[in-house]
């Protein structure tokens, strides 16, 4: 019988046999997961997951996104980035109680999925098989429960970018298998537990951007497997433990922005694998130990800025073979600068040794460096022949160079140290000779000329008064004649409108209600373009086929928007504003505004569109057109900000408010939210209408939405949409958008053009020349998105940057745009991007990951909510990676423009 069965099995085709085996295992899987299926359904309900992700009638192990099974048991769940249902969004919370029935669960990933609430304490007791717990960017609050220490199988714990408070439980030291521990960007307090020294398998420890205090535990030096240690942006005090020198596997060490004191341990010479050493913004004092850097030949980034180090600059430090970034600024380094100009290993390096006490002469040009900043020292003599386009030497004691220290300061410095000063430093300013008193005979002529000037001024004043009176008479005559009819404009984009904001009558009843009703098909749904926040937009055609757009203003919710737009268009006119044709106010309950129709719609609908009705593939705008749109939008905003008096803030710049005509020329619409900039003291009628009590709501990073800086921020997001092709960024300011911005801005660096290719829209065809333009626009976008409103560049300089993109990134701009311009009259590019170079070494503008990729590091503190690097910050600590112009530079530019 057994032999017969075996013969039958051998006769079954292999494919059918595999099917039978698979079916049997599937049946077994279903039988084993009955309880777990119920638990998954409960989790689906409690988290408000959508049916498209977890379809209720299908097998979770086979079709549910993010659910992983093994032998019929659920071993992993990932809801990372999922969206909740509408009902689920109404009351989101940390409701994962059904996980207790998934006893074989090895990983749970809810990163970037909102779980507001505290981590339940039972989680540590009931999920004994858990190996990975990932709750990054999940809005988790409360404290870290002690029970997490009971998850003995855990090897990765990610809790960064949340709202966690309280102290770090020492019980985490019991997680012997833990390899990654990331608690960064929260609001944790207290000390770092010394029990962390028991984590013998730990390779990454990140607790940056919290409020931790006390000393750095010396026990961390016993974790021989540690590769990445980031304790930056806290309030840690005391000296650096010498035991950390035992971490021979350490690749990155970051202690910036703390209150550490003492000297740099000589034991750090044992960090043979170290590539990044960042201890800026502390109180490190004394000298650098002899021979410390001789053995650290893998170092790529060294940041010791803003400390109290007072030794000479070690020659071994400057000669490190792989050094890319060195920042020793704002210390007390003294002595002469070692001669490193002939070191071929310095090619492309960025050195900042500014604001120290270096003296002596420059030995030779620094041609091998990408840039070196020696400003704010006491270097004397002449600049060596060959030029110094890649070096900043401001505020020194050099000959025949502008912007140097006074001769008196230089003498005092050299005399106090018993040094020889060549006495030919910066020349003292020459006082102009005092004017000689005028002879008595000339005084009479002065009196005569004064009398003539006064007489002419009186006559001019009379003429001006007469002109004003005549205009008032003409105005009365016009008012008596009745209102003028402002009909459609068949050709051209601009309309001649009254310049006096008090004259509304010239635009009153320019269209009849029946006329607009007929042109829009009685406002039919087929002619509806979209629902705007101030009213619905309808397509229509006047007699003769002239296309128009009619806005049916929502009087209930926006009862002032109708008047605001009328006032705005009556005062301001520009080719970059949407052509306004007229209005209709016959019906008290329906206010209508009429504009010229834009053939290509708005940027949101034109960035991608179907090629034709047959082919469903999308065609995207080419780069030339995208740059054209960016420049056109900047022109319109520059007009509102700098040519309108008082300045007007658009307040709603996004892809849907950037309209495009048949030639893709920009016409800015959605002007119903426009307001006069805060602080402007004008009392005209338009000012009273545009400045409303509700117009001061906070914008991004706490800035007021009635400031021009708010428009600049929104425009920065539009630029990123044009670069990346990711629509919807400019209209949103939620947590996910801020997370995306935080991630994307990390790929924008003035030192690495290739980084930007990681974020460029894949549908764009970009060659090498165009890539430089993309790179330049990305730099402009990052400048616009500065979290500090006062540091965002004005629109008129943004416009210049977009019109001259290659000036932003080409090598010659580096020579004219130093950290501190050597001329008192600086070019716009220097002032606009000068602070990029001033902070170029702030916490290492170059990042080198395992693949050797260079990029810009986001070193600034993010708020406790962990939204993004440009979001709201609940920390009083400064962002150290400001990349925007200083106020003095902006003043210089304004003066230059006036000339």
Residue 355 near residue 327, CB atoms below 8 Å: no
Residues near 435 by Cβ (< 8 Å), separated by ≥ 6?
Answer: none
Active site residue 652: yes
User: How many other CB atoms are found less than 10 A from the CB of residue 460?
Assistant: 10
Write out the H or E segment, with its range, that includes residue 74: strand 73-78
Residues near 873 by Cβ (< 8 Å), separated by ≥ 6?
Answer: 701, 787, 861, 862, 863, 879
Q: How far apart are CA 478 and CA 481, in angstroms?
A: 5
**Largest CA-CA distance found in the chain, in angstroms, rounded:** 143
Listed residue (751, 746, 799, 754) closest to 777, CA to CA: 799
Q: How far apart are CA 899 and CA 893, in angstroms?
A: 10
DSSP character for 641? Answer: I
Helix (H, G, I), strand (E, B) or coil at 832: helix
Q: How far apart are CA 826 and CA 815, in angstroms?
A: 12
- Strand 666-668 and strand 658-660: pairing? antiparallel
What tokens does 857 get? 């590091």
How big is the chain, counted in residues?
899
Within 685-767, where are the H helices? 685-690, 708-724, 735-745
Q: What is the DSSP string of 248-293?
A: TT--EEE--SS--BS---GGGGG-TT--EEE--SS--EE-PPTTTT
Q: How far apart are CA 623 and CA 725, in angstroms?
A: 11
Write out the H or E segment, with its range, that includes residue 471: helix 440-481
DSSP character for 430? Answer: P
Q: Which residue has the tokens 């060549």?
A: 422
User: How many other CB atoms are found less than 10 A from the CB of residue 75?
Assistant: 17
Phi, psi (rounded to 5 degrees) for 176 = -65, -25
User: How many other CB atoms are found less than 10 A from the CB of residue 85?
Assistant: 16
Catalytic residue among 652, 742, 882, 892: 652
Residue 655 near residue 603, CB atoms below 8 Å: yes
Helix (H, G, I), strand (E, B) or coil at 395: coil
User: How many other CB atoms are found less than 10 A from the CB of residue 144?
Assistant: 25
Q: How far apart are CA 763 and CA 725, in angstroms?
A: 8
Q: How far apart are CA 325 and CA 348, in angstroms?
A: 9
Q: What is the DSSP string of 511-578?
A: S-HHHHHHHTTTT-GGGEEEE-SSEEEEEEE-TTS-EEEEEEE-TTT-TTHHHHHHHHHHH---TTBP
Residue 655 near residue 731, CB atoms below 8 Å: yes
Query: Residue 41, exposed/middle/buried by CB under 10 A (0-12, 13-18, 19+)?
Result: middle
- Strand 535-541 and strand 547-553: pairing? antiparallel
Residue 566 near residue 583, CB atoms below 8 Å: yes
Helix (H, G, I), strand (E, B) or coil at 666: strand
The number of C-alpha atoms within 13 Å of 354 and in the hemisphere containing its C-beta is 22
Taking CA atoms, 849 is separated from 497, 715, 752, in Å, by 58, 31, 14
What tokens does 860 get? 């600034």
Q: How far apart are CA 184 and CA 205, in angstroms?
A: 9
User: How many other CB atoms are found less than 10 A from the CB of residue 198?
Assistant: 18
Q: Which residues are catalytic?
A: 652
């Amino acid at each position: 019988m057994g032999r017969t069965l075996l013969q039958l099995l051998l006769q079954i085709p292999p494919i059918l046999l595999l099917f039978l085996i698979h079916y049997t295992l599937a049946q077994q899987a279903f039988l084993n997961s009955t309880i777990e299926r119920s638990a998954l359904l409960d989790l689906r309900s409690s988290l408000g997951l959508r049916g498209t992700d977890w379809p209720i009638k299908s097998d979770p192990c086979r079709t549910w996104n993010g659910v992983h099974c093994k032998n019929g048991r659920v071993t992993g769940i990932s809801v990372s980035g999922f969206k909740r249902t509408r009902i689920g969004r109404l009351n989101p919370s940390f409701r994962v109680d059904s996980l207790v029935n998934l006893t074989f669960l090895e990983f749970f990933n809810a990163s970037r999925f909102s779980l507001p609430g505290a981590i339940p304490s039972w989680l540590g007791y009931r999920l004994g098989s858990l190996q990975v717990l990932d709750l990054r960017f999940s809005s988790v609050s409360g404290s870290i429960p002690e029970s997490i220490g009971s998850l003995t199988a855990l090897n990765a714990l990610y809790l960064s970018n949340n709202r966690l408070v309280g102290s770090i439980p020492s019980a985490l030291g019991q997680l012997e298998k833990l390899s990654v521990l990331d608690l960064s960007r929260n609001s944790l307090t207290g000390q770092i537990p010394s029990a962390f020294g028991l984590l013998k398998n730990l390779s990454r420890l990140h607790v940056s951007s919290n409020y931790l205090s006390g000393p750095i535990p010396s026990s961390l030096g016993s974790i021989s497997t540690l590769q990445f240690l980031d304790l930056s942006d806290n309030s840690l005090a005391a000296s650096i433990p010498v035991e950390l020198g035992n971490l021979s596997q350490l690749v990155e060490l970051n202690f910036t922005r703390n209150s550490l004191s003492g000297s740099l341990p000589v034991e750090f010479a044992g960090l043979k694998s170290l590539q990044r050493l960042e201890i800026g913004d502390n109180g490190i004092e004394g000298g650098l130990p002899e021979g410390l850097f001789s053995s650290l030949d893998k170092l790529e980034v060294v940041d010791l800025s803003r400390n109290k180090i007072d030794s000479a600059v070690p020659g071994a430090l400057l000669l490190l073979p792989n050094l890319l970034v060195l920042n020793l600024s704002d210390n007390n380094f003294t002595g002469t600068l070692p001669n490193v100009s002939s070191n071929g290993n310095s090619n492309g390096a960025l050195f900042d040794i500014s604001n120290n006490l270096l003296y002596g002469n420059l030995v030779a040009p620094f041609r091998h460096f990408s840039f070196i900043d020696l400003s704010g020292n006491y270097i004397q003599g002449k600049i060596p022949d060959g030029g110094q386009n890649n070096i900043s030497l401001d505020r020194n004691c050099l000959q025949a160079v502008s912007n140097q220290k006074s001769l008196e300061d230089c003498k005092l410095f050299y005399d106090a140290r018993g040094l020889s000063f060549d006495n030919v430093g910066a020349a003292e300013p020459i006082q102009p000779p005092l004017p000689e008193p005028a002879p008595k005979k000339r005084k009479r002529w002065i009196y005569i000329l004064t009398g003539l000037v006064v007489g002419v001024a009186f006559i001019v004043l009379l003429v001006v008064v007469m002109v004003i009176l005549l205009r008032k008479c003409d105005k009365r005559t016009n008012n008596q004649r009745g209102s003028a009819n402002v009909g459609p404009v068949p050709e051209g984009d601009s309309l001649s409108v009254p310049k006096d904001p008090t004259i509304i009558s010239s635009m009153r009843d320019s269209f009849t209600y029946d006329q607009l009703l007929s042109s829009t098909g009685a406002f039919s749904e087929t002619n509806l373009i979209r629902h705007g926040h101030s009213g619905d937009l309808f397509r229509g055609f006047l007699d003769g086929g002239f296309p128009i757009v009619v806005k049916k203003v929502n009087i209930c919710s926006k009862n002032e928007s109708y008047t605001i737009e009328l006032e705005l268009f009556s005062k301001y006119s520009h080719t970059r504003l949407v052509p306004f044709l007229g209005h209709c106010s016959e019906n008290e309950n329906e206010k209508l505004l009429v504009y010229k129709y834009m053939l290509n719609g708005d940027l949101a609908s034109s960035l991608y569109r179907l090629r034709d009705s047959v082919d469903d593939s999308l065609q995207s705008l080419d780069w030339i057109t995208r740059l054209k749109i960016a420049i056109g939008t900047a022109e319109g905003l520059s007009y509102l900000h700098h040519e309108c008096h008082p300045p007007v803030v658009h307040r709603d710049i996004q892809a849907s408010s950037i309209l495009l005509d048949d030639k893709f020329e920009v016409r800015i619409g959605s002007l119903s939210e426009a307001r006069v900039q805060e602080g402007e003291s004008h009392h005209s009628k338009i000012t009273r209408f545009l400045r409303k009590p509700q117009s001061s709501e906070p914008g991004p990073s706490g800035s007021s939405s009635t400031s021009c800086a708010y428009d600049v921020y929104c425009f920065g997001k539009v630029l990123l949409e044009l670069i990346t092709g990711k629509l919807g960024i400019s209209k949103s300011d939620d947590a996910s958008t801020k997370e995306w911005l935080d991630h994307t801005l990390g790929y924008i660096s003035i030192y690495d053009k290739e980084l930007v290719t990681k974020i460029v829209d894949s549908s764009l065809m970009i060659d090498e020349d165009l890539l430089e333009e993309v790179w330049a626009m990305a730099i402009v976008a990052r400048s616009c998105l500065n979290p500090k409103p006062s540091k965002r560049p004005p629109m008129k300089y943004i416009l210049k940057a977009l019109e001259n993109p290659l000036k932003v990134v080409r090598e010659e701009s580096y020579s004219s745009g130093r950290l501190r311009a050597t001329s008192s009259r600086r070019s716009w590019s220097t002032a606009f991007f000068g602070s990029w170079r001033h902070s170029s070494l702030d916490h290492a503008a170059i990042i080198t990951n395992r693949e050797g990729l260079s990029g810009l590091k986001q070193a600034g503190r993010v708020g406790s909510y962990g939204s993004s690097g440009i979001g709201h910050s609940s920390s009083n600590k400064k962002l150290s990676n400001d990349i925007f112009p200083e106020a003095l530079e902006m003043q210089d530019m304004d003066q230059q423009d006036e000339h």
